[in-house]
Amino acid sequence: MAKSTSKKENAVLAYLRSTRAEMGRVRWPTLDQGWSMTKIVLAVTFSMAIFLGVLDFFFGWLLGQIVSGSVIFMVVGAAVAAALIISLYLIGQSDEA
C-alpha cells in the first residue's frame, strides 16, 4: 500500500485559526455600552448581596429564637417553612403548565 501524502493539520493550530477567525466576526460593544453593562452588573450584584445578607440575618435570628425555646417564634418558624414549601410547590406546578 502506498502512503498517503496528504498531511493532517495539527488540531491545536486548527483550533487557534478558527478562534482567530471567529474573534474577527465578533461585534464588540462600544465604551459607553461596556460601562453601562458594567454598572448594571455591579448594581444587581450589590442588590443581591444586600438581599441575601438580610435573609441570612433574619433566618439566623429566627433560628436563634427557635433554639432558645420561644414558642411564638417556633410557630413563626413553622409558618415560614410552610410558606416556603407551598411556594416551591406552586413554582413547580407553574413550570409544568
Q: Residue 5: its pLDDT value, please? A: 58
Question: Helix or strand or coil: residue 12?
Answer: helix
SS3 track for 15-65? HHHHHHHHHHHCCCCCHHHHHHHHHHHHHHHHHHHHHHHHHHHHHHHHHHH
Q: Specify if 75 maps to a domain.
A: yes
Domain with 72, as residue range(s), is: 31-96
Confidence of residue 31 (pLDDT cuts 50, 70, 90): very high
Identify the pLDDT of residue 3.
Answer: 57
The structural domain count of the chain equals: 1
The confidence band for 17, taking pLDDT boundaries of 50, 70 and 90, is very high
- Asked if residue 18 belongs to a domain, the reply is no
Would you say residue 21 lies in a domain? no
- pTM metric for this prediction: 0.55
